[in-house]
Amino acid sequence: MFFNKATTNHISPTDQVIYILGSNALAFFLGARFINAGEKVIFLNSDKDKKQNSSELLVKDERFINRYRYTPEFSVNIRHKVKMLVITEEASTLKAQIPGILTSKINNIPILIFTRLEDDRFIAEYLHHSLIRGYFNGCLQADKNTVSLIGTSNRFTLVVPKNDIYFSTLKDIFSRSEIETEYVSDEKGAFWSHLASFGSAALLSAANGKNIYLLTKDENSRKTMDALIAEMQKLASSDKVNLEYTDILKTIYNMPSAYVTDLQQAITEKNFKEIDLFSNLLNNRAQTHHIQIPTIKHLLGLLYNKTLV
């Protein structure tokens, strides 16, 4: 179905609201889908963020030529009864927003988190609430006030077993929002499956300064990719997770030609903390379990060299 009219998000004082803590492409994409399904959505952001993001947004899904236009509603605190809280902002940038979340208002609701794994403990302890881990296995691109879902393979993974008290609520919201979602109980498997495919693509593209589509056409790059995937499989095995080579490769090859990974974008913007996150995670795992990762170290070395330019 094709949507080109603005999607309404009129909120009354008695409405149940999905609050989204974040102002990135993933946050605005989810907001558009939720609103189009009839949900009420408010973004929790500081006053500075509110001024920067108060204009109308266009969210496009290039697979089905869908377009959603809406003007995000922002708040510095929770004002309504909460139906669900979604966190897409990293812990390092949450300090201005998270005080606006009164823990008394988020009892007995699902809290869905898409930030880095190391953020879970900090956020869970601050909110005094359990978290449901989510992964976006797909490609989003943001350009000014436009967010585009690109490529043919885009899927969300939510780590929530079917017997979880929030399973039905999450499934209902994501199903009505027409968001392709799989529900799993294996948290480690979901993490390594995401990292081995999208993490490998990010390392390769950022280290070479080319998008992953071009690298798959180059013989030497394909050899590096094979070696990189093999090392990712070894790291995952140390966590008792077995990954299939063909599954990882298929995900990488399905990435669209226009896709620029977050790490590649971070290097362009001189944001080098992303390199440290990759380096610490992979090197610590390798050292702890005595795993040789020469390809990963070579790619990380290329990335660190870019910080010297």
- Domain range holding 221? 189-306
Phi, psi of 262 (to 5 degrees): -60, -35
Which of the residues in the chain have pLDDT under 70? Answer: 1-8, 46-54, 62-65, 91-100, 309
pLDDT at 190: 96
* Domain co-membership, 76 together with 180: yes
Within a domain: 53: yes
Within a domain: 113: yes
What's the domain count of the chain? 2
Phi, psi of 115 (to 5 degrees): -80, -175
Give strand ranges (E) for the chain. 16-21, 40-44, 57-61, 66-70, 74-75, 81-87, 111-113, 132-143, 146-159, 181-184
Give the CATH number for residue 26. 3.40.50.720
Last residue of some domain: 170, 185, 200?
Answer: 185
Last residue of some domain: 169, 185, 201?
Answer: 185
d(CA 39, CA 81): 13
Phi, psi of 91 (to 5 degrees): -60, -35
Q: Which two tokens stand for residue 218?
A: 């180059």
Tell me the β-bridge partners of 140: 149
Last residue of some domain: 185, 213, 230?
Answer: 185
pLDDT at 209: 87
* Domain co-membership, 36 together with 129: yes
Phi, psi of 74 (to 5 degrees): -115, 155
d(CA 72, CA 57): 7
pLDDT at 93: 67
Mind listing the pLDDT tens digit for each residue in 198-208? Answer: 999 999 999 99
Give the CATH number for residue 294. 1.10.1040.10
